[in-house]
């Protein structure tokens, strides 16, 4: 597995050198998109804006703040973008998937510009090859909890005093629902339907509204948590399910805090680099292993395609496991044939 290398290159000084004119072009594009889909202003658009500002900082440093609508840029766009790819690889140490996402951020800007009649043609569409094999390049480890490991985490969370009821609820809801961390951090008491054991209309990836389901164990814990919060007015005032104390009051638990808690859950079973996404992958894989129904796992994961589930969320079988499964099927067929011949 390739380790993630973090390079802090785009300092405040470098970003301050970006041409105000180029920034203005992008701000107009960004505002247009936010109007169409405000729900992802602080997620998808924020990430793409960072990517685009990095590109503009690169242009400021390497190409003297070339105007991104100028004839000079349009004529040399392919060479400039290939130079940027090399910069991302050699200086920033970006992986292929990250580079492709950065290229998409720039390309989306020019697609919008064409629709608005600001340019005649996309400067590098179908002229620039994306990074090959990006999906196959492993950037971080993936872990799949076994049912036994799930039970071990549950036991530790319920018996070790260094964990509290919020830790238990977080793990249970994360595992039961298989939702992304973006949904978990948005869970609120006002969206809770305790009788039907779900949270309604929670915004997740790309602004989609999803249900976040849970099971009986989580329901009992949530009921207990709600009773505990009745004794503290400040806790009642905060609508978030997961809360932290701040300046004498309470506020929603941050994504960073949730990440840190998930890491500690993994340490219980000896996985120091465990992440929230590993819980999601574990649940979808275990659903598939228990039922053999890939469609069911895909539906739980809110995937539009079962192929997405198969490629990224189902634990690949080792050659030994494949061999054992073939032998089991062979023995089963042999037994059936012997019974038929009797």
Which of 139, 141, 160 shows the shortest CA–CA distance to 264?
A: 160
Question: Using alpha carbons only, what angle is made at residue 99 by residues 97 and 104, rounded to the nearest 5 degrees?
Answer: 95
Least trusted range by pLDDT, from 156-160, 185-189, 312-316:
312-316
Distance CA 74, CA 123 (A): 5
Q: Bigger pLDDT: 27 or 325?
A: 27
At residue 135, the pLDDT reads: 53
**pLDDT tens across 148-168, in order?**
999 999 999 999 999 999 999
At residue 320, the pLDDT reads: 83
The DSSP-derived string for 163-207 is S-HHHHHHHHHHHHH---HHHHTT-BSTTEETTTTEEEEEE-GGG
Examine the pLDDT at 34 and tell me if it is beyond 70. yes
Q: Bigger pLDDT: 340 or 98?
A: 98
Q: Please, which residues have CB within 8 angstroms of residue 180's CB and are 6 or more apart in sequence?
A: 204, 205, 276, 277, 280
Q: Cβ distance 146 to 279 under 8 Å?
A: no
At residue 2, the pLDDT reads: 44
Phi, psi of 72 (to 5 degrees): -60, -45
**pLDDT tens across 37-84, in order?**
877 677 778 888 999 999 999 999 999 999 999 999 999 898 899 889
At residue 6, the pLDDT reads: 57
At residue 329, the pLDDT reads: 80
Examine the pLDDT at 237 and tell me if it is beyond 90. no
Q: Bigger pLDDT: 327 or 178?
A: 178
Split at pLDDT 50, 70, 90, the class of 233 is low
Q: What is the pTM of this model?
A: 0.63
Examine the pLDDT at 207 and tell me if it is beyond 50. yes
Share of the chain above pLDDT 70, in %: 92
Distance CA 269, CA 306 (A): 29
Average pLDDT over residues 287-291: 94
At residue 3, the pLDDT reads: 47
| CA dihedral of 177, 223, 169, 179, whole degrees rounded to 10 | 20
Distance CA 275, CA 256 (A): 11
């Amino acid at each position: 597995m390739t380790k993630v290398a973090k390079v802090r290159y785009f300092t405040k000084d470098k970003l301050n050198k970006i041409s105000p004119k180029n920034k203005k072009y992008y701000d107009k594009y960004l505002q247009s998109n936010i109007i169409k889909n405000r729900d992802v202003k602080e997620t998808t658009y924020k990430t793409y804006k960072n990517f685009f500002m990095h590109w503009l900082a690169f242009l400021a440093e390497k190409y003297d703040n070339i105007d991104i609508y100028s004839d000079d840029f349009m004529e040399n766009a392919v060479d400039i973008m290939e130079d940027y790819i090399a910069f991302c690889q050699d200086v920033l140490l970006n992986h292929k998937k990250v580079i492709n996402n950065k290229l998409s951020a720039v390309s989306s800007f020019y697609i919008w510009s064409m629709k608005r009649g600001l340019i005649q043609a996309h400067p590098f569409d179908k002229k620039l090859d994306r990074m090959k094999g990006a999906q196959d390049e492993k950037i971080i480890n993936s872990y799949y909890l076994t049912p036994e490991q799930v039970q071990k985490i549950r036991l530790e969370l319920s018996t070790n005093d260094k964990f509290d009821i919020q830790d238990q609820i977080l793990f249970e809801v994360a595992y039961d629902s298989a939702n992304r961390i973006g949904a978990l951090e948005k869970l609120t008491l006002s969206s809770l339907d305790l009788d039907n054991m779900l949270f309604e209309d929670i915004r997740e990836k790309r602004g989609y509204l999803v249900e976040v389901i849970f099971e009986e164990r989580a329901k009992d814990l949530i009921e207990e948590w709600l009773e505990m919060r009745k004794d503290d007015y400040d806790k009642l005032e905060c609508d978030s399910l997961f809360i932290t104390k701040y300046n004498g009051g309470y506020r929603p638990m941050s994504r960073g805090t949730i990440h840190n808690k998930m890491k500690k859950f993994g340490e219980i079973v000896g996985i120091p680099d465990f992440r929230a996404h590993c819980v999601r992958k574990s649940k979808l894989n275990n659903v598939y292993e228990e039922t053999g129904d890939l469609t069911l796992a895909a539906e739980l994961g809110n995937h539009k395609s079962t192929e997405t589930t198969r490629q990224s969320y189902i634990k690949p079988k080792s050659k030994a496991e494949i061999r054992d499964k073939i032998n089991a099927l062979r023995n089963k067929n042999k037994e059936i044939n012997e019974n038929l011949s009797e």
